Structure 1
Amino acid sequence: MEKLNPYLNFPGNCEEAFNFYKSVFGGEFAYLGRFADIPSDEGMVIPEHKLNKIMHIALPLGKECLLMGSDCDEGWCPEVVVGNNVTLSINVESREQADKLFEGLCNGGKINMQIGDVFWGSYYGMCTDKYGVTWMINYVKPEGNS
């Protein structure tokens, strides 16, 4: 495994929260993407009122950790309730390792997003294990590989 990072879900105030974290920890966002940035060929229908909300944001905390987050959209993550709004995001070193961890963590749990190739260039999936912990498995594919 390469890294384990905390992923925070918010009920619509992710940008406000991350601007606060940025003021506390310093630094610059490594990524800020909105739901409006999702390519139309992905087949996702995003309601108009959510287009400007945060799809994904990352704030480096030192050299080895990213604090990441998003505004949680109905249907792909549990309802945001304080206490369940933290997800563990694992960046792995291979597609095979991603499949193994995803299969293991989903056993007896719920698949929130089937693992597969995604538009941002990774191999990614999300599930909630049988104990209620939500996991993101992410393999960043080498450039030029599918």
Structure 2
Amino acid sequence: MSVRLTPYLVFPGTAGEAIAFYEKALDAQVLFKQSYGEMPANPDYPLVDEQKGLISHAMVQVGESQLMFSDSDEGKPIPQGNQVTICITTKDASLSKKYFEGLKEGGTVILDLHEAFFSPAYGQVRDKYGVTFHLFTEGESMN
């Protein structure tokens, strides 16, 4: 069973600046970076021009560790407790579902576990202690 916990940093429109800063300060290497404008268009959530350049997701390597980054999709201030979250990565959708169900007990579902263009099972939940988790299943989605 392979499970990985990765800190996920969310910024109010400054993720690109933060990534550049960590590249310099920590010799970080960008493994992946995508803006909201580079994602597949979603007619239910049309983007305004200011959102298109914001970072939707980035993965950065620092030594043997990785950090994930994104901007809030509106570039607005991040609610307290949401700037640093944890991404739980598995290769098994049923394991992601088990963790999601366990964490949502007494907590709040932010985004139901669902199939997305980037994952066969992805969701977000804030547990009863106020910690926000992203559940991410690696692999090809059916979309």
How would you bin the TM-score normalised by the shorter chain?
Answer: 0.7 to 0.9
Residue 71 of structure 1 corresponds to which residue in structure 2? 71
Residue 110 of structure 1 corresponds to which residue in structure 2? 108
Identity of aligned residues (%): 31
Aligned residue runs from structure 1 range 1-146, under 5 A: 1-41=2-42, 43-63=44-64, 65-73=65-73, 80-81=78-79, 84-141=82-139, 143=140, 146=142
* TM-score with structure 1 setting the length: 0.84
Give me the whole-angstrom Cα distance separating, in 2, the residues matched to 1:14 and 1:98. Answer: 27
Q: Deviations over 1:92-119 (max 9, x none)?
A: 1311100000111112222222111111
Q: Deviations over 1:33-64 (max 9, x none)?
A: 0000121257432232111000011101234x
For structure 2, the residue ranges without an aligned partner over 5 or more in a row are: none
1:131 counterpart SS class? coil
1:17 counterpart SS class? helix
Instruction: Figure out how many residues of one structure are paired with residues of the other and give that number.
Output: 140
* TM-score with structure 2 setting the length: 0.86
Question: How far is 1:30 from its partner?
Answer: 0.7
2:96 counterpart SS class? helix
2:67 counterpart SS class? strand
For structure 1, the residue ranges without an aligned partner over 5 or more in a row are: none
